[in-house]
Amino acid sequence: MVLKTLHVLGPLHGYGIARRIEQISGDLLAVNQGTLYPVLLKLEQEGAIASEWGASENNRRARFYRLTREGRKQLQAETKDWEQTAAIIDRFFEAKAEDLS
């Protein structure tokens, strides 16, 4: 989700990512926003994203995260994976009893 958000919106700070995830999920995913930061760190260590200091909308120092080339590749791979998984699950839900008999 983090990767996709960054992919769509470009470089963004932590709060922005959290807001965005909240908005897209329609407030259905109301996790603690704090848990986002360890995830960001992990992605950065893996090289999927990079970060640097920048100025936020109200001109305060904020850390901006952006997708790296590695991250883009990872996003593609994961998107494909997910689509596959989703497709399989879909088929299960669409299958009706008479199809099987």
101 binds other proteins (CB under 8 A): no
Query: And the tokens for 33?
Result: 């926003």
Pairing of strands 12-13, 49-55: unpaired
Residue 16 makes CB contacts below 8 A (sequence gap 6+) with 9
Cβ nearer to other proteins, comparing 32 with 101: 32
Considering only residues 14-53, where is the footprint of other proteins by CB under 8 A?
A: 14-16, 18-19, 31-35, 37-38, 41-42, 45-47
Distance in Å, CB of 86 to other proteins, minimum: 23
Q: What is the four-CA torsion angle of 3, 37, 34, 80, rounded to 10 degrees?
A: 20
Q: Interface residues with other proteins (CB under 8 A)?
A: 13-16, 18-19, 31-35, 37-38, 41-42, 45-47, 56, 58, 60-63
